[in-house]
């Protein structure tokens, strides 16, 4: 009887050790990064005509439909930044159509949070005639912080 109890305890110990080992292997795998492809169409745009901004959000081959997406848009050298929350449009795509009255150089950053990750690609675009660009030391410029710079 003692041998049977000892063998049962030994068997349970082995099963527990194998189970813990599998859990550690699964939890140690790093998830793939969330990728954001930001596009501006047309670029350059024309005053008072719509420009379409799209953020395509994926993780590996999977299209992410439940991301938190905000577009931040401003004219070069302007301290006022407009932030617009974007809803999911289709198959991992988040879209905004917007017109601009004033000509010049503009910037857009898509702030995307999904799967406990944050990605902020930035694009420069023009409306009509370009204006003076922001310098790289400007506080508005996020180039140094971009995780996915798609210029």
CATH of domain 34-135: 2.60.40.1930
Closest CA to 69 of 122, 140, 106, 119: 119
Task: Quick: pLDDT tens for 32-87.
Answer: 899 999 999 999 999 999 999 999 999 999 999 999 999 999 999 999 999 999 99
Rounded to whole angstroms, the Cα distance separating 114 from 69 reads 9
Instruction: Please check whether residue 140 is in contact with residue 74, taking contact to mean a CB–CB distance below 8 angstroms.
Output: yes
Instruction: Please check whether residue 110 is in contact with residue 71, taking contact to mean a CB–CB distance below 8 angstroms.
Output: yes
Average pLDDT over residues 98-109: 97
| pTM tops 0.75 | no
Rounded to whole angstroms, the Cα distance separating 80 from 55 reads 22
Average pLDDT over residues 135-143: 51
At residue 140, the pLDDT reads 43
**Of 125 and 139, more confident:** 125
At residue 19, the pLDDT reads 65
């Amino acid at each position: 009887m003692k041998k049977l109890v000892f063998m049962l305890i030994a068997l349970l110990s082995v099963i527990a050790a194998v189970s813990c080992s599998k859990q550690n292997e699964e939890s140690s795998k790093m998830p793939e990064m969330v990728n954001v492809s930001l596009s501006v169409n047309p670029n350059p745009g024309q005053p008072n005509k719509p420009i379409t901004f799209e953020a395509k959000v994926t993780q590996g081959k999977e299209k992410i439909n439940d991301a938190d997406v905000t577009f931040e848009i401003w004219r070069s050298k302007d301290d006022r930044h407009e932030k617009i929350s974007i809803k999911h449009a289709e198959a991992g795509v988040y879209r905004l159509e917007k017109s601009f009255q004033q000509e010049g150089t503009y910037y857009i950053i898509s702030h995307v949070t999904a799967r406990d990750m944050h990605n902020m690609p930035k694009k420069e675009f023009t409306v009509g005639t370009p204006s003076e660009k922001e310098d790289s030391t400007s506080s508005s410029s996020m180039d140094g912080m971009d995780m996915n710079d798609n210029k």
